[in-house]
Amino acid sequence: MTPEQISAANKANMETLANLSRKAFEGVEKLMELNIQVAKTMMSEQVEHMKSCASAKDAQDLMAMQAKFVKPFSEKIVSYSRHLKDISTETQTALSAINQE
């Protein structure tokens, strides 16, 4: 290999590394945004739930309030998992595309 070829190969490798790093950080950024959004939503909903539980008249009333809280919470966990999978898949696809260039 000539020095020019080595230099060109090094430059291409550096560009690939920079692109891989950029895409990886974009994925991490999306994950952090998702987690912050989920944390804010959960905190807000927990406060509202605690306020409603404080107004329970008896144990049955409290249990009914808890039951109303559990189903939407489960659905949100499924939604979070989907978003997490989407971010992961999108990042993996982008990284694979860069590696194939």
Give the CA distances from residue 20 to residues 7, 27, 56, 96, in Å, rounded to whole numbers and listed in that order: 20, 11, 54, 9
Q: What residues make up the domain containing 8?
A: 3-100
> What pLDDT is attached to residue 68?
85
What pLDDT does residue 71 have?
A: 82
**Under DSSP, is residue 1 helix (H, G, I), strand (E, B) or coil?**
coil
**Predicted pLDDT at 99:** 87
How many distinct structural domains can be found in the chain? 1
Residue spans of the chain under pLDDT 50: none
Residue 87 is predicted with a pLDDT of 98
| Cβ atoms within 10 Å, residue 23 | 19
Alpha-carbon torsion, ordered 40, 43, 44, 50, to 10 deg: 180
Q: What is the pLDDT of residue 25?
A: 98
Among 45, 47, 25, 49, residue whose Cα is nearest residue 37: 45
